[in-house]
Each structure stands twice: as structure tokens, then as C-alpha cells.
Amino acid sequence: MTVFLHYDQAQLDRQYDQRAWAANATEVIRRYGESSDKVRARLCAPETHAYGPTPFETLDLYRANRALAPLHVFIHGGAWRLLSKRESAFPAEMFVRAGAHFAALDFAQIPIVTLADMASQVRRAIAWLHRHADAIGVDPQHIYISGHSSGAHLAALVTTTDWDEFGAPQGIVKGAICASGIYDLKPVRLSARNDYLRLSQAMEQELSPQRQLDRIGCDLIVAFGEFDSDEFKRQARDFAAAAGRRATLIEEKGLNHFEVALSLADIDGLGGRAALWQMGLSTTASNPG
């Protein structure tokens, strides 16, 4: 019996289990942490700031050697329940060397909080960074974000934020990269992932970026890997198409779901080039689309 599109339950569950599509998933995830440790050794320890009242609401800031620099904020993935800012420093060196500050976010995850709470924490972090921009040496007119996997879903939600609710002006995020993410939660709600996400239909509606298109407040780069699952590819294509002129769609050839994140740290990779192009930090990169 079909559950969503042409998928039966087992097929749909596999579409949203990215480890089933990447034999080296464990190795690549381990590389996130190992590469992050090496970056911290080269750049020195980051500044840690609390952006909210709970122990989970902190961020690590890696500084560029500029008095007032643009900022790139990375929102990690991990199926909304795994990983942390400790494994998310691996892109920092590329941005710092290019002249931008880099922030890696921590936030509470499922089952400690709901998905709505998690999204609110991430939005609060971005608002905090804008509000404290002068104090931490950030150019408040040049804040950019990226997210991978479940982090891409959160990044897409950030672009739809009504910033009045967070005490910030509209348009504080100037650009976003959403890499190998999920933008409509209906198939997720129907899949095995909902055993821990506990999404209702109302939550599905509220937390699906593709259903908030009129609220997108910046340009997007929507990326996916050649070896992502068919559903993750469809999600990227559908979201980019629905966002229209605001979105640039890129396919990262030769990469699986987990390797796409590492591309963001590679100045010679499509992800890294796209990020620097979006921030205006590259004099050689062209529009990735």
C-alpha cells in the first residue's frame, strides 16, 4: 500500500534514512569531529557566548583578523537529535581565512525539546548575534547562514522568520545555504522518523518552510548531493522551484548526503565556492547556478 507518492512504508522509511544511501556515513560523521579538532588547533579556541537562558543555548565564535567582519553561521544537522557545535567547526577555517567570522551553534535537540522549540532557539541565536554585532565585531549588515540536513531545514525556517518576535529588524539574514535538507515535513511525518519527532499535522504545516514561501526574507542557495536519496533530491528541487528567483539550485556531483557538509569547508568545492560567492568574499568564483 502506498503511503506517500509511489512509496510504500518501507520505501518511504528508507528514503528518509540517509545512512542507507551512504556506506561511509559513520566515517564521514567522524571526520566532522576530527576536522573540527584540527581547525581549533590551528585557529585557537573560539569565544563561547550564551544566547539564551538554558545550558544548550550557546555558540562558538571563530574570529577573522578584521575589526568589523561579515559573519557566517552554521546550523549543524544530525536528524534533529544528534551532533553539536563541537563537530561543527570544520568549515570555520575557510571563512576565517577569507575574512569572515564563523559561528557554530548549539541548541537543545529532540527529545529534550520539540522541533518548534528547536527552531525558536536557532532564531534566537541569530537575533542575539545581530543585537550584539558591535560588541563582538560583526558587521550587522552582513550576516549569512547555512545548514546541512536537518540543519538545512532549520536554516530554511530561519529565512521565514518574523524578526519582530525576536526583537530584531526584518532582513537581518542576507543569504542562506540549505544543503541536503527537508523543506516539506509531510513525508517525514508519515515516515519512521515521526516515532521520535512526534509531528502533528498542525506542526507539519507550521514547520514546513515550503509552506511559508511568502515569508522568505533573503536569497537562497539550495544544494543537494548526487548520491542523496531520491526524496532529498526532490525536496531540494521542489523547494528551489517554489522559491523562484530567490533560489539557486546546485547539485554537488560525486557527493553523498554526508559529504555535502564537508564541501562547505572546501574552498575548491562547490559548497565552499558558493558560500564565498554569496557573501561577496571571492573575487574569482562565479554564480554557482
For 35-83, the pLDDT digits (tens) are 999 999 999 899 999 999 999 999 999 999 998 999 999 999 999 999 9
- Domain extent at residue 161: 2-279
User: How many domains does the chain fold into?
Assistant: 1
In this prediction, residue 288 carries a pLDDT of 58
Residue 139's domain is classified under what CATH number?
3.40.50.1820
Residue 192 dihedral angles phi and psi, to the nearest 5°: -65, -20
DSSP 19: G
In this prediction, residue 283 carries a pLDDT of 45
* pLDDT confidence band for 258 (50 / 70 / 90): very high
Instruction: Classify residue 57: in a domain, yes or no.
Output: yes
What average pLDDT does range 5-23 have in this prediction?
98
Instruction: Classify residue 34: in a domain, yes or no.
Output: yes
Distance in angstroms (rounded) separating the CA atoms of residues 241 and 262: 25
**Sole residue written with cell 543537494:** 224
The half-sphere exposure of 187 on its side-chain side, counting CA atoms within 13 A, is 25
Specify whether the backbone of 83 is left (phi greater than 0), alpha (psi in -120 to 50) or beta. Answer: left
Instruction: Classify residue 58: in a domain, yes or no.
Output: yes
Instruction: Classify residue 287: in a domain, yes or no.
Output: no
For 84-140, the pLDDT digits (tens) are 999 999 999 999 999 999 999 999 999 999 999 999 999 999 999 999 999 999 999
pTM: 0.97
In this prediction, residue 268 carries a pLDDT of 92
* Coil/strand/helix, residue 47: strand
Instruction: Classify residue 286: in a domain, yes or no.
Output: no
